[in-house]
Amino acid sequence: MLAALGYDSLDAFVRDVVPDNILSERALKVEPENGLSESQLLERLRGIANKNKMRRTYIGCGYYGAKTPAVIQRNVLESPEWYTSYTPYQPEISQGRLESLINFQTVVTDLTGLAIANASVLDEATAASEAMTMSLGLLPLSRQKRPNKTFFVDSKVHPQTITALYSRAEGFGINVQVGDALDLAAVETVGEDLIGVLVQYPATDGSINDYSKVADTAHKFGATLSAATDLLALTMLKPPGEFGADIAFGNAQRFGVPLGYGGPHAAFFATSDKGKRKMPGRLIGVSRDRLGDPAYRLSLQTREQHIRREKATSNICTAQALLANMSAMYAVYHGPAGLKAIAERVYGMARILEEGLSRLGFEVNGGSKAEGGYFDTVVVKVKDAADTVAKIEEWYGINLRILDKEKVAISMDETVSSQDLEDIFAAMSAFAERIPGRLKWNEMLTEIAEDLEIVPGAPTAVPEAFARTSKYLQHPVFNSHHSETEMLRYLHHLQSKDLSLANSMIPLGSCTMKLNATTEMIPISWPEFNSLHPFAPVEQAQGYKQMLDELETDLADITGFDAVSLQPNSGAQGEFAGLRVIREYLKSTGQAHRDICIIPQSAHGTNPASASMAGMKVVTVKCDPKTGNLDMEDLEAKSEKYKDSLGAFMVTYPSTYGVFEPGVKKACEIIHSHGGQVYMDGANMNAQVGLCSPGEIGADVCHLNLHKTFCIPHGGGGPGVGPIGVKSHLAPFLPGHPLIKTGGEKAIAPISAAPWGSASILPITWSYIKMMGARGLTHATKITMLNANYMAARLAPHYKILYTNSKDRCAHEFILDVRNFKDTCGIEVIDIAKRLQDYGFHAPTMSWPVSGTLMIEPTESENLQELDRFCDALIKIRGEISAVEKGEMPKEGNVLKNSPHTQRDLLVSEWDRPYTREMAAYPLPYLKDRKFWATVTRVDDSYGDLNLFCSCVPVEEHE
């Protein structure tokens, strides 16, 4: 490749790509320098994992023990066909996961009793924040602008959720008022300032309450009622949609996803019909393909922030697709009867626990049974909660929750056994006022079960007023796959419809679809990493602490920063966290008035959305249309114009046009000289590692996409991790947490529900860095740029390369300009994207950052043969375009316009097209041996948006 580009060394090539004033002479300190072997890595990580103490945990508070069915663990969580696929922007090669996600949406709508659900959001606390801002957006504009607009939050909402609300509320000027939502007078006092009410159902103390009058009160003022809830409980309890909730959300974790020290887990989000146009996140709907057959696709794509930019009320650009698929499959595998049986067993265990503790003389659940009782959590009054919990952990290896100074909460889940209950009774007996004459806890357990008439396998009912009467999950998909054989076949049937890295390279620019090495993935299934509760005492997570500390140190070294926070659980959340840190720092220096954020017009849409959410006013700076570089004159002029109120400048480096801008250091100096802070979007960090760094360039804060540069898989649309690195003056403001100490001494409110966000997938990044070592990381950066430039050189004779530097080089990605084909022969960018599917490839990033173009990023993971295979496909497609240009093929009905071609499409009895079946299916020889077939023909990208809201069911129902 070097020879093809005219170089005799990799370093000489790099000097023509990276500007001299950017290229760093600093060697990375990552150890070991030459990296660990796979066996060495696993041995070292096993030693670290063993430092985590495995305890039986009944903390609850939104996180519960769950059993991942082995068929789902092996064939979804651990399957590269599921975890290496990209977001389903190309629906023809994504039908499997789209069906699975629509199953997830159906689970959520059925169980919440609401009209429409999205395909997951980041976590429960983030979902609460989205509910709050959505509630604001549903109000008339005059109400949205009221200076005292208030979101009323019940005090029995999970504490991590309440504190996360403060982070989001500040940027929108929302007052968060915490109180007793059942005190209707307190809610009514807010009056016309009320934008919404949030309750927890069941509450954080386990109680089940009737919120129907709260809903009536909120609606009287035109406000909304949001209910944080629990899908397992809703198999037994009246759904929120039936007591007046407008929004319901929560954590789907207990549907088959491990605790994972806090994540990743799929949060769910549902709303009534009136909220369908304001709902955040992704939505799967039913459309149709070219043959008129039903097909799934992402619907209402204007939700993406590229459209609304600074006017967006949400910066979500991802989901938790892999985890949502796991939870959906858990529901498919167990079905409605199986899910209810699990819920009834959990509830039965809680009833036995309550009765047993009462017989030990404890005051339980406030001394009297609440109207609705409880579902899985029992609250016990003790003399000293902290002392009780500490001693029980020391003596019995059992974790309970401190609710307040005199109350301990104990939560049941599907992993709890009779032996576990006996051990809890034995542990609590040390603090009991009376002890039964016999100390055979198993006999006591049996006696209680008999007295309460709790019989294994028999239905157990909650109080009638709260009992669910409506049916759920009636669709055949939830009633057909209850044996492992059928489940396995269903999973592989869906998997076969999706293109992933197991099939071919995915050359998406700005998305960095690199190898997710098998060795890096192995530890996520280890119980020492995936079974810890996020609020377990930190002394029990010393292995995690060591790994997280080492990861933070390595990321700080790589980025040139002084401190790192791993809490943000997506790139967009990292943006928001970084800007919140900047704002808090400015406030601490008496400069709270600095609220202008300058952003290049080429920026990813989440940049302006995040700035707006952080309470900043967005000012756009131009880019040079010829080079793609920042317009430095415009930047200087706007910095001068807003010098008294300039707060931040957001810049992506290399730029979103795929080049290293030579003036980026000057841009940072301009911003700093006018009193602002520099935020660097780390989406393209994989072109910097080991060669330059945000800290040395001049940035004050930068977020990283661990799911891009650092090998966490995209999972079909999530999970992601977006940590931030900061300079020392910003370190005191890194995000904190109400239950576990994180962040700096002046920490902002948390960004995520868990202290370290999606902790259980951080071993992937740790492993990647340790196996690569300092030299490997730097070499990988050079190779990713070499691969991109090699491909650009091969394609340059056939397509126009849109942006390069003065040496005619790109960075790690490049843009093909295909806009002229529309004028010459009617071929558009989407035709090329869809035709690539016939060649077995996912399309590059389409129409971003420039409409009508393709942005290609090969990454360092791909070898020369794969690069050439992709180039051969694009060159062959250029020949097909030429045939249309020359009139050898018609402008309509040609092989590109009809792409992709499915087997069904090619097996029609009569063939009247101007090209052969073989030309459609096998345009290059390798395809006869290695062919990936799209399962639907081209999907209509607009059909179904108007009526998709009743379409949250699998396609079979529409046939």
Q: Do 142 and 249 have their domain in common?
A: yes
Per the CB < 8 A criterion, the answer to whether 61 and 755 are in contact is no
Low pLDDT (below 70) residues in the chain: 300-313, 367-371, 436-439, 456-458, 945-959
Element (H, E) at 577: helix 571-588
Q: Residue 268: phi, psi to the nearest 5? A: -110, 160
Kindly report the CATH number assigned to the domain that includes residue 553: 3.40.640.10
Region class of 215: left (phi > 0), else alpha (psi between -120 and 50), else beta: alpha
User: What residue type is assigned to position 657 of the chain?
Assistant: Y
pLDDT of residue 438: 59
> Quick one: 561 and 685 in the same domain?
yes
Joined tokens for residue 328:
């959906």
Residues 324 and 376 in one domain: no
CA distances from residue 899 to 94, 285, 889 in whole angstroms, order as listed: 15, 22, 14
Q: Which of 699, 728, 759 is the last residue of a domain?
A: 759
**Is residue 16 in some structural domain?**
no
Range list of β-strands (E), 110-260: 116-117, 150-154, 175-179, 194-201, 224-229, 247-251
Give dist(CA 800, CA 820) in Å, integer.
10
Short-list 338, 341, 335, CA closest to 459: 341
Bridge partners, residue 286, by sequence = 296
Q: Distance between alpha carbon 803 and the CA centroid of its chain, in Å?
A: 31
Range of the domain at 780: 773-946
CA-angle at 733, arms to 729 and 735, nearest 5°: 145
In-domain check, residue 98:
yes
Among 427, 456, 485, where does a domain finish?
A: 456
H-assigned helices in 397-537: 418-429, 441-451, 484-495, 518-521, 527-530
- Flag whether 34 is in a domain: no
Structure tokens, 593: 């008035």
CA distance 278 to 132: 12
Which pLDDT score, from 0 to 100, does residue 300 have?
Answer: 66
Q: What pLDDT, on a 0 to 100 scale, did the predictor assign at position 277?
A: 84
User: Would you state the pLDDT for residue 923?
Assistant: 98
> How many Cβ atoms sit within 10 Å of the Cβ of residue 619?
19
Structure tokens at 632: 């430095």
Residue 873 inside a domain? The answer is yes
Closest to 120 in 3D by CA, of 102, 137, 94: 102
Helix spans in 33-180 (H): 38-49, 70-72, 80-83, 95-112, 124-137, 141-144, 159-172
- In order of 164, 193, 274, 496, 655, the CA distances from 150 in angstroms are 16, 6, 21, 49, 40
Whole-Å CA distances, 714 to 321, 509, 763, 921: 9, 14, 15, 29
In a domain, 896, yes or no: yes
Q: Do 824 and 746 fall within a single domain?
A: no
Q: Are residues 696 and 614 in the same domain?
A: yes
Instruction: State the DSSP string of 350-413.
Output: HHHHHHHHHHTT--BGGGS--TT-BSSEEEEE-S-HHHHHHHHHHHH-EE-EEEETTEEEEE--
- What is the arrangement of strands in the sheet containing 407-411, beginning at the earlier edge strand? 377-381, 407-411, 401-404
Distance from C-alpha of 59 to C-alpha of 61, rounded to nearest angstrom = 6
First to last CA, the chain: 51
3-class DSSP state for residue 724? strand
Residue 98 phi/psi, 5-degree rounding, is -65, -40
Q: Got the DSSP string for 648-711?
A: EEEEESS-TTSS--TTHHHHHHHHHHTT-EEEEEETTGGGTTTT--HHHHT-SEEEE-TTTTT-
Beta carbons within 8 Å of 671's beta carbon, 6+ residues apart: 598, 639, 646, 648, 649, 677, 678
Q: Are residues 787 and 935 in the same domain?
A: yes
> The tokens of 118 are what?
């999205």
Bridge-based pairing state of the strands 401-404 and 267-271:
unpaired
Residues 128 and 274 placed together within one structural domain of the fold: yes
CB atoms within 10 A of CB 930: 10
Convert 406-423 to b/e letters by CB count within 10 Å (16 or more is b).
Answer: ebbbbbbbbbbeeebbbb
Q: Quick one: tokens of 540? A: 């029990």
Largest CA distance in the chain: 97
In a domain, 277, yes or no: yes
pLDDT at 365: 87
488's tokens: 């396995």
Q: Which residues pair with 380 in a beta bridge?
A: 364, 408
700 with 724: CB under 8 angstroms? no
Whether 106 and 133 map to the same domain: the answer is yes
pLDDT the model gives residue 955: 40
DSSP-derived 3-state class of residue 738: coil
Residue 501 lies in a domain: no
How many of the other CB atoms lie within 10 Å of CB of 728? 10
Domain count within the chain: 4
CATH number, domain of 351, equals 3.90.1150.10
Domain assignment present for residue 317? The answer is yes
Examine the fold and report which residue of 331, 365, 395 is the final residue of a domain before the chain moves on. 331
Is the same domain home to 563 and 712?
Answer: yes
Nearest to 662 by CA among 18, 16, 1, 14: 18
Residue 16's contacts (CB-CB under 8 Å, 6 or more residues apart) are 7, 805, 807, 809
486-499 residue pLDDT tens: 999 999 999 999 99
Does one domain contain both 560 and 585? Answer: yes
Q: Answer yes or no: do 817 and 735 share one domain.
A: no
* Same domain assignment for residues 402 and 256: no
Residue 457 confidence (pLDDT): 65
Q: How far apart are CA 326 and CA 253, in angstroms?
A: 9
Q: What is the pLDDT of residue 953?
A: 40
